[in-house]
Amino acid sequence: MLTADRVFGRENEKERIVGWLTSTSSEENEVVMNNNPVPIMSIVGHGGIGKTTLAQLIAKENRIKEHFKTVIWVSVSTNFHAETLISKIIQSVTLSKPSFDTYDALQEHLARTLETIKYLLILDDVWEDKEISEWEKLFASLRTGVYGRKILLTTRMQSVADLASAVMRCERERLPLCGLEETENLELFNHHVFTYPDPQKFEELQEAGEKIAKKLRGCPLVTKVIAGHLREDMTVQFWNKFLDEQLGYFDGGMEDIMKVLKMWIASGLISQTTGEAENARDVAEECLAQLTRKSFFNLKLRNFHFERNECHEYYVMHDLMHDLATWVSSGECARIFDANGSKKVKRTVRHLSVVGINSFPADIIKSFSRFKNLRTIVFEDCHDIQDNTVCSVEEVVETLKALRVVKAHLFSRCHFPGKFANLKHLRYVSVSFN
């Protein structure tokens, strides 16, 4: 589902990619043998430039829906593991999560699922440009099938596009995505900054608005963020001050974009509420609404399947925003994926997410007890977890006296309820078992 309510520009880029995706060959409906490459087109551009929005626009295009039997969308990000990605592909096609998680079983299931389907696979926000083995494992199940299958990939890095094409052994097709044209970016700015459909109602702001939009160098994310910031004070004085003080040296580079985003956050994303009648949930929902309006979060749909409407709403953070949030919160928030990552976490951390706890040695798990200020701990993707690992997790939880939130999904019996008794600050517990 396209998350933007309206898309400005990108018509030429869309036509070029759609044309490439829908081009056909004489072998169109034949079943091929092993080791045949699936053609890949990569959209390459820096954070916030609109790669994901363009890919969504293409996926919703009627010509794409008519040409491919199914469109598969997988959000990749920095956590590139073949098993996880294969599972997501299967879930997108079948609308059910696989009941197994070993690579061999997943590979066989994927090959069987896709062997007669002419599909478009969209891999969004890919970062992996080193682990060739993970790419080979992912592509191994995709090489067998009917002609006409294609892959569309979005990434910030040309090295990712090069590696994907090299592993697949196909020609390097890429589209470098630049900023919007000045007129397009002005339309985007006006759309987000003015409450009324007709910006002429704010005629006195037109000149300042045009200068601001021009300075943003066609970056859609920054344009939306700046528009949300300016909407809080619709006066010529405020806009001109912002233009002179905040955008005086802005040239559209990554450092300038990060500077603007930090300024925006420092200026106060969320207004203070004074109504005593508001309960915590009301305040939280209003905070979420404000963050969404200001483009800090985007509202999306789970199960990105374009032929069906069986989807659930959820919120995501743009990767550029995530980079900023990670930098700002580095002393208080952390997410670790392996034992080595745990050694880099500062003792001051208050909110911790642990992915794949089953792969962590017991001594590493027990070392979490050094995080005396920890208020939140979340255990993600706990597959095939052993009883000794669960016992180590229990011991850690029991020692973290400042905990307020505990969330875990474990494949084992445990005695968590008894361990919670002495955690007097605990406010939220979600522990489930397979």
Which residue ranges make up each domain of the chain? 11-176, 182-266, 329-433
- CATH of 11-176 given 3.40.50.300, 1.20.5.510, 3.50.50.60, 3.30.360.10: 3.40.50.300
Tens digits of residue pLDDT in 303-358:
544 455 555 566 677 666 777 677 777 788 888 887 777 778 888 888 888 887 77
Angle at 369 between CA 365 and CA 370, to 5 degrees: 115
Start-end of H helices in 95-147: 103-114, 132-140
Predicted model pTM: 0.64
Q: Are strands 333-336 and 70-77 parallel, antiparallel or unpaired?
A: unpaired
- Cα–Cα nearest to 167, from 129, 194, 124: 129
Give φ, ψ of 163 to 5 degrees: -65, -45
Tens digits of residue pLDDT in 184-226:
999 999 998 886 656 566 788 888 999 999 888 888 888 888 8
Tens digits of residue pLDDT in 61-109:
999 999 999 999 999 988 898 999 999 999 999 888 888 878 899 988 9
Start-end of H helices in 216-279: 220-230, 236-246, 254-266
Give the span between the Cα atoms of 180 and 164, in whole angstroms.
Answer: 27
Give the span between the Cα atoms of 193 and 159, in whole angstroms.
Answer: 36
Which residue is listed with tokens 């491919």?
A: 68
